[in-house]
Amino acid sequence: MIVRFRGNAGDPPRKDLKTVLAAEQCLKNAQIPGVIEIAPAYVSIVLFYDPSRVVISGANVNRVVDWLAEWIRRAISNTDRNFDQAEIRQIEVPVCFELDSDLDELVRHTGIERQEIINLYCATEYRVSCIGFTPGFPFFSGLPRELAMPRRAIPRKDVPAGSVGIGGSQTGIYPIRSPGGWNIIGRTSLRLFDPQKSPPALLRAGDRVRFRPIPRHEFESSTT
C-alpha cells in the first residue's frame, strides 16, 4: 500500500522529505496491526502488510484497505508535532577524485573546470532522500543544478563499490559492485553496506551528508 504525499510526477522538492520522514516515524510508532514493514521514498511511503493478520486484528475481509487507511490517517494526522529532529544525523563521506572516473566527460558536458566541479560538489550539504536500487544505495537530494548530467547511454556492467555518481539531477554512491549507468566522479573508502552489521546500511533516509575530498594515498591507506 503506497501513501503518496503528493503526485509522483516531476522533480521532488526538498520540503517533501521532512513530511515523509515525519510521517514514517508516526506510522512506525502507531504499530498498525498486520503491517510488516514500512519503507519511505521521495514523496511517498509504502506499507507492506499481511491481509490475514489485518483480518485477525478485526478488519472486515472486504474492507482491509479501508481499515488500514483509517489507521494511517489517524497515525499521520498529528505528524508535525511528533517529529523528532534529533533523529537526523550528520555524516561526512571522504571521497577520492583522483581515480578513474567520468570527471573529464562531466567537464566537457558542464563546461566547468575539474577542480571547480570538485569544489562545487563538496561545498554542498546533501540529504539522503531514500535508500534503494541496491542495498544501502543512497539517493541524495541537493546536487547543484550546474552539475547535472544525463545517465550514460550504455550502463557499465561493473561499477566498483564506493563509486560516487551523478545520474541526471540525482547523485548517489554505489555501495556494492554492481552494474550502473551513472557518471562516476569519485570513490569513497567507506563501506556503505555490510550485511553483518546492524544496521547493515551506513546511511538512512534523512541523513545530512557532506563530501570531503581526500588524496589518493589517503584513499588507498584506508582501503587496505
Partner 1 sequence: MKANVRRAGFLTTVQDAGREGFRALGVSLGGALDSFALRVANSLVGNDPGAAGLEVTLGGLELAFADDRIVAWCGGAFDVRVGPAKIPAGHAALIHSGEELKIGPAGNGCRSWLALSGGIDVPVVLGSRSTDLRARFGGFDGRALRDGDEISLGENSREASALIDKLRSKRISEWRPAHDWSSPGSAAPVLRFVQGADWNRFDDSTIQRFSNESYAVSSESDRMGVRLRGGQLKPKEDGDLVSEAVAPGTIQVPPSGQPILLLGDCQTIGGYPKIANVITIDFPIAAQLRVGDQVRFREASLSDAQRLLLDRTHRFEEFRRGLSLISDEISRRS
* Neighbouring-strand partners of residue 193: 201
Interface residues with partner 1 (CB under 8 A) are 2, 4, 8-12, 36-44, 46, 48, 51-52, 55, 61-65, 130-137, 139, 168, 175-176, 178, 193, 195-196, 199-201, 204-205
> What are the CA-CA distances from residue 9 to residues 5, 120, 174 (Å)?
12, 28, 25
Report in angstroms how near the CB of residue 152 gets to partner 1 at its nearest.
Answer: 16
Output the smallest distance, CB 88 to partner 1, in A.
Answer: 15
**Nearer Cβ to partner 1 (43/117):** 43
Nearer to partner 1, 109 or 133 (CB): 133
C-beta of 195 vs 215, nearer to partner 1: 195
User: What minimum distance in Å lies between the beta carbon of 217 and partner 1?
Assistant: 29
Instruction: Specify the pairing of strand 208-214 against strand 90-96.
Output: parallel
- For 90, phi and psi rounded to 5 degrees? -115, 125
* CB-side neighbour CA atoms (13 Å) of 173: 27
Q: Omega before 33 cis (within 30°)?
A: no
Identity of the residue, 71 or 193, whose beta carbon is nearer to partner 1 in the bound complex: 193
Q: Is 135 within 8 Å of 201 (Cβ atoms)? A: yes
Shortest Å, Cβ 200 to partner 1? 6
